[in-house]
Amino acid sequence: MTWFDGLDPMLFARTLVGIAAMVAVVMLLLRWAGVHLGVQPVTAVARAIGQLGLASVILSGALSMPWLIAAVLLLMLLTASGTSAGRLRGLPGGREAAVLGVVTGGVVATSAVLALGVMPLTSRNVLAIGGIIIGNAMTAATLAGRHFRTLARERSGEVEAWWGLGATSPIAYAQVAREAVTDAMIPNLDQTRSTGVVTLPGAFIGALFGGASPLEAARFQVVVLTAIMLAQTVTALTVTRRLSRMTRLPAEG
């Protein structure tokens, strides 16, 4: 069996046309609103298509080879860390903070799920849980870092006053760090509290489509949401603690 067995050519073609149409609308709306993201929406979707296609090929045989699952997760960590590091490159220590945050949050939360025995230790579960957690750790690292930069500039007078009193940078940036962590956590907290009422998340739908009962799908989704919360907490705290060591205010941008 090859990775494209069972693929409907007409559905595949309609999918490509539909994706292209939606991306075109995104580009037009952003241009109309004066939002300058360049071709990032196009390149983001193009990368997603290419990377998911490659992942499909790799994973078609990976589930029977634990060492390859480990390699895929390592690649996810490297890619997520690099993406977040790129977003924080203008901050002193930003790249290091992003890498530390993503790796620490991803490893801690994934290990916790497996160590606590809430999910059976199988290649499929390790890959599914690990992939979801790493992606959300990346988001938390980026949000925490960018919020830290914005808040540090907004509260520059307060930070400089602390320095003037002889405080260390972690003390001067303490309130900035706390607010940055809060801002980074809010999207996941809102999703968690609205799950089942406002949204039916992907893990829940995927488990249902995979043949799980609604109750088992719900259990899986709660495990995922809680693990994401742990990962993002560890990631955001790691990122802001590292950035709080800056001895000067971050530059604008």
Q: From CA 38, how far away is CA 28, in angstroms rounded?
A: 11
- Are 180 and 148 a contacting pair, CB within 8 Å? yes
CA–chain centroid gap for 133, Å, is: 7
Question: What confidence score (pLDDT) does residue 191 get?
Answer: 83
Question: What confidence score (pLDDT) does residue 2 get?
Answer: 44
Which residues lie below 8 Å from residue 175, measured CB to CB, with a gap of 6+?
Answer: 155, 158
* Nearest alpha-carbon partner for 76 in 64, 68, 87, 65: 68
What type of residue is 41? P
Q: From CA 3, how far away is CA 49, in angstroms rounded?
A: 15
Question: What confidence score (pLDDT) does residue 126 get?
Answer: 84
Question: What confidence score (pLDDT) does residue 199 get?
Answer: 64
Buried b (16+ CB within 10 A) or exposed e, 82-94: ebbbebbeebbbb
Question: What confidence score (pLDDT) does residue 81 get?
Answer: 92
- From the first residue on, what is the mean pLDDT of each consecutive set of 10 residues in the chain (253 residues)? 58 86 92 88 87 68 67 87 90 93 94 87 82 93 95 92 94 94 91 74 66 75 88 95 91 67
Which residues lie below 8 Å from residue 245, measured CB to CB, with a gap of 6+?
Answer: 93, 169, 170
Question: What confidence score (pLDDT) does residue 197 get?
Answer: 66
* Alpha carbon distance, N-terminus to C-terminus of the chain: 50
Residue 17's φ and ψ, nearest 5 degrees, are: -65, -45
CA–chain centroid gap for 207, Å, is: 21
Question: What confidence score (pLDDT) does residue 1 get?
Answer: 42
